[in-house]
Amino acid sequence: MLTKRIAIIVLILAAAGIIAFAAACGSVEDDSEAGGGLLDETDDDGGDDDTASAIEGVPDGVNDFLNSGDIEALEAAGMPIHYGDAPPVVEGRYVLDFLLIVYDETGGTGSALNIYDITFREQSGDGSLKLDYNDRSSSDSGFGVSAFISGDGVCFTVFADASGALGDCRYSLPFLFSGCQNTGGIQSFHWGMIMKRVEGTGCAMPVGAVRIIRESDGLAEKVLDWQYR
């Protein structure tokens, strides 16, 4: 039974004495619109990815912030990724009300998360789109984040490059969202992330660490604007 919910922004693990995080309070930045990220973006391999190759079956822009080694790590952790250049149109607002961390190298596996709303918009034929998200119980949010989409048929993956700050730690943490459309929303919704860069102090989530979150009731429900609370 899910009895306690937390924000993605700060996952406090008292037993381990660490803070693991995914996105900063109201400070997630879209590097393409903010005039450059917090960290040096000229070397986006992060860690020992020198032998990693480009990712096939995704828009070219995804390779600016992820590589095949990152994808292999995410898939090994249980993140479904859908490739192809004919994804469904996913524009709309979705409610994520049963989020559960199913894989976390920093110790958060099994934690239930707050209710989040996510909106996909401005989807284009070149594989680009925008996304907004917010936690209904905290200030964890992002607006107008540039992203890319791949997929085929009813299944898709959205890739977004996000960077921000939490305290004295600055980071680059790409997000991935995967699922398959049905009449009520998105089935098998997964939210994955991999830490690419950290700078400063208090960065508890190390470079290369992966976290996978799943909508545990099986459906991210699509809602109309007038239904939104």
Instruction: Report the relative pairing of strands 163-166 and 185-194 from DSSP bridges.
Output: unpaired
* Per-residue model confidence as pLDDT tens digits over 101-159: 999 988 889 989 889 999 999 999 999 999 998 888 876 777 889 999 999 999 999 99
> Which conformational region is residue 16 in: left (phi greater than 0), alpha (psi within -120 to 50 degrees), or beta?
alpha
* Residues 82/156, Cβ–Cβ less than 8 Å: yes
Distance of CA 95 to CAs 52, 73, 224, 228, Å?
35, 27, 11, 9
pTM to 2 decimal places: 0.79
Print pLDDT tens along the chain (229 aa): 444 554 544 442 222 222 333 333 334 444 433 332 333 333 344 444 556 789 999 999 999 999 999 999 999 999 999 999 999 999 999 999 999 999 998 888 998 988 999 999 999 999 999 999 888 887 677 788 999 999 999 999 999 998 777 778 888 889 999 999 998 999 999 999 999 988 888 777 789 999 999 999 999 999 986 454 4
